[in-house]
């Protein structure tokens, strides 16, 4: 019997469906915000789609995370009538589905004109650039997320207030917590193995009900798939167990935000050697790693919208809460935006600590990798590394990060480097979606404003 992770070709995909006697399979793709959209597809339709592709309404690229239609994008909209766009199924993305015995899910991605604004295609474009430069990019993501003893109904009944985390108080790296809740941890780890996004480490973080999962590293495109599926099915697993998982950047002003850290390294395609490792240099940093870090640092303000894509993201980027506020770098320094991790030829890497858990993983990896490649291509040198507490130091003005999503969207729109790396259609489309997100926020009145101004002003 063929196993899901052994499926590589169209023929393999058809064979495993036949062997399992499935009448339907799941097919899903990821929208601009990294939300998985899809459906059950009959075996006959699935086989046809494997051979010739299929069509999916392009509204998936034209609406926000609440299914509200963008009014400021040119790719799709009422003017075009929201037609179907061509989609291809990726046979090698085959996975078993947690809690659905024998069921399979396949990732799809947009083709044709829609490919220009497809998030997964944006990452592939950067990966192809890396290959053209002689590099294979490796990546891994870490996610912090909060778990609550709530349901989709209960959080709405409570108006998203006074929610109950699964555990109280601050207790990072707790053996007590992961032992008391051993069944939950085992379910998460088992799901990750079953669905081929294995977890290297899983532990409590600082805050009530918060966990951190480090997904095992892989080639960059596969790492994007693993991260996107983890976020999706972690929510599924939680809700099937009468809990809720959130990957919001910051759900409460009382607790640290949720990060989505990105670890990156490069291999030489020619011989498989580590590009970043050079034990003749301080911190084992090769000249190429210096250029890579410099590119990430230089372009970080321009690409911030891809790491911090929601209004809520900017509530996390404040001093003292383990999130960087400037485009800084340091060696083993967790107060900087970029943390160089010295190691051996297998472990030398750079961690981008700027990203939040709410980012679309395909776009976050694309931005982090693309910026590094830009640095290599232009032989950039980084600013002097930060030693000590980066929050307490004054940094160069050009290292300052945008303070709002609107400002970040304007930086992205104006970025020549972003257009070179990702294509002008993608940059224009994504920047417009972030402008929409900010405008949607401005249409609403917060509790803070009512409490502050209603009676007194």
Indicate whether 135 and 161 sit together in one domain.
yes
Indicate whether 199 and 99 sit together in one domain.
no
Write 76-81 long-range contacts (CB < 8 A, 24+): none
The domain that holds 42 is classified in CATH as 3.10.20.70
Structure token pair of residue 30: 């990821």
The per-residue pLDDT for range 125-181, each reduced to its tens digit, is 999 999 999 999 999 999 999 999 999 999 999 999 999 999 999 999 999 999 999
In a domain, 291, yes or no: yes
In a domain, 456, yes or no: no
In a domain, 119, yes or no: no
Task: Count helices and strands (H / E) in the chain.
Answer: 14, 15
Indicate whether 110 and 129 sit together in one domain.
no
Indicate whether 163 and 108 sit together in one domain.
no
Count the neighbouring beta carbons within 10 Å of the beta carbon of residue 391: 17
- What is the phi/psi pair of residue 200, to 5°? -75, -40
Asked whether the beta carbons of 265 and 288 are under 8 A apart, the reply is no
Indicate whether 236 and 198 sit together in one domain.
yes
Kindly state the average pLDDT of the residues 13-29.
98
Indicate whether 96 and 160 sit together in one domain.
no
Asked whether the beta carbons of 309 and 360 are under 8 A apart, the reply is yes
* Boundary (domain end) residue, out of 114, 137, 163: 114
Q: How many domains does the chain have?
A: 2
More confident residue, 181 or 324: 181
Structure token pair of residue 307: 């790491």
Residues in a beta bridge with 409: none
Indicate whether 349 and 400 sit together in one domain.
yes
* Boundary (domain end) residue, out of 65, 80, 114: 114
Indicate whether 287 and 398 sit together in one domain.
yes
Indicate whether 269 and 378 sit together in one domain.
yes
Q: Is pLDDT of 320 > 70?
A: no
* Boundary (domain end) residue, out of 62, 89, 114: 114
Asked whether the beta carbons of 195 and 233 are under 8 A apart, the reply is yes
Q: Using a cut of 0.85, tell me whether the model's pTM lies above it.
A: yes
Q: How far apart (Å, rounded) are the C-alpha atoms in residues 355 and 368?
A: 9
In a domain, 90, yes or no: yes
Label residue 173 exposed, middle or buried (CB < 10 Å: 0-12, 13-18, 19+): exposed
The per-residue pLDDT for range 379-399, each reduced to its tens digit, is 999 999 999 988 888 888 888
Count the neighbouring beta carbons within 10 Å of the beta carbon of residue 42: 12
Kindly state the average pLDDT of the residues 54-59.
95
Kindly state the average pLDDT of the residues 238-252.
96
pLDDT attached to residue 185: 98
Pairing of strands 329-331, 260-268: unpaired
In a domain, 23, yes or no: yes
pLDDT attached to residue 322: 67
pLDDT attached to residue 299: 98
The per-residue pLDDT for range 208-220, each reduced to its tens digit, is 999 999 999 999 9
Q: Is pLDDT of 420 > 90?
A: yes
Average pLDDT, the chain: 96
Indicate whether 418 and 307 sit together in one domain.
yes
Indicate whether 362 and 423 sit together in one domain.
yes
In a domain, 211, yes or no: yes
Say which range, 18-32, 46-60, 131-145, 308-322, has the weakest mean pLDDT. 308-322
Q: Tell which residue, 194, 227, 154, has the closest CA to residue 3.
A: 194
Indicate whether 180 and 233 sit together in one domain.
yes
Domain that holds residue 16: 4-114
Helix (H, G, I), strand (E, B) or coil at 429: helix
The domain that holds 418 is classified in CATH as 3.30.590.10
């Amino acid at each position: 019997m063929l196993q899901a992770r052994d499926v590589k070709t169209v023929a393999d995909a058809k064979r495993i469906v036949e062997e399992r006697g499935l009448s339907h399979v799941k097919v899903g793709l990821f929208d601009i915000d990294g939300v998985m959209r899809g459906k059950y597809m009959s075996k006959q339709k699935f086989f046809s789609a494997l051979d010739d592709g299929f069509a999916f309404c392009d509204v998936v690229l034209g609406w926000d995370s609440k299914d509200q239609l963008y009014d400021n994008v040119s790719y799709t909209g009422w003017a075009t009538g929201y037609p179907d766009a061509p989609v291809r199924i990726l046979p090698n993305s085959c996975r078993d589905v947690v809690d659905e015995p024998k069921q399979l899910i396949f990732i799809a991605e947009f083709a044709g004109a829609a490919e220009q604004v497809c998030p997964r295609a944006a990452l592939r474009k950067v990966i192809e650039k890396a290959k053209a430069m002689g590099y294979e990019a490796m990546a891994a993501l870490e996610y912090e997320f909060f778990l609550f003893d709530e349901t989709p109904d209960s959080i709405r009944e409570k108006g998203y207030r006074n929610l109950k985390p699964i555990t109280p108080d601050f207790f990072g790296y707790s053996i007590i917590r992961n032992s008391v809740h051993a069944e939950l941890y085992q379910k998460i780890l088992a799901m990750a193995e079953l669905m081929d996004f294995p977890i290297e480490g899983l532990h409590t973080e600082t805050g009530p009900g918060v966990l951190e999962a480090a997904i095992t590293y892989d080639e960059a495109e596969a790492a994007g798939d693993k991260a996107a599926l983890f976020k999706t099915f972690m929510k599924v697993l939680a809700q099937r167990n009468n809990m809720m998982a959130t990957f919001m950047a910051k759900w409460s002003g009382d607790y640290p935000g949720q990060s989505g850290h990105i670890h990156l390294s490069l291999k030489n395609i020619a011989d498989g050697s580590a590009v970043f490792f050079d034990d003749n240099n301080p911190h084992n940093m090769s000249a190429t790693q210096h250029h890579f870090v410099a590119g990430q640092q230089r372009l970080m303000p321009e690409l911030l919208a891809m790491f911090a894509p929601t209004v809520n993201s900017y509530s996390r980027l404040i001093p003292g809460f383990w999130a960087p506020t400037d485009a800084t770098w340091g060696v083993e320094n967790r107060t900087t935006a970029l943390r160089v991790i010295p190691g051996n030829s297998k472990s030398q890497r750079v961690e981008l600590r700027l990203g939040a858990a709410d980012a679309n993983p395909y776009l976050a990896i694309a931005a982090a990798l693309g910026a590094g490649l830009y640095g290599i291509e232009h032989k950039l040198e980084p600013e002097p590394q930060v030693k000590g507490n980066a929050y307490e130091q004054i940094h160069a003005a050009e290292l300052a990060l945008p303070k709002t999503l609107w400002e970040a969207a304007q930086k992205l729109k104006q970025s020549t480097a972003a257009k070179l790396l990702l294509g002008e259609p993608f940059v224009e489309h994504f920047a417009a979606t972030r402008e929409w997100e900010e405008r949607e926020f401005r249409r609403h009145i917060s509790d803070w404003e009512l409490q502050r101004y209603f009676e007194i002003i």
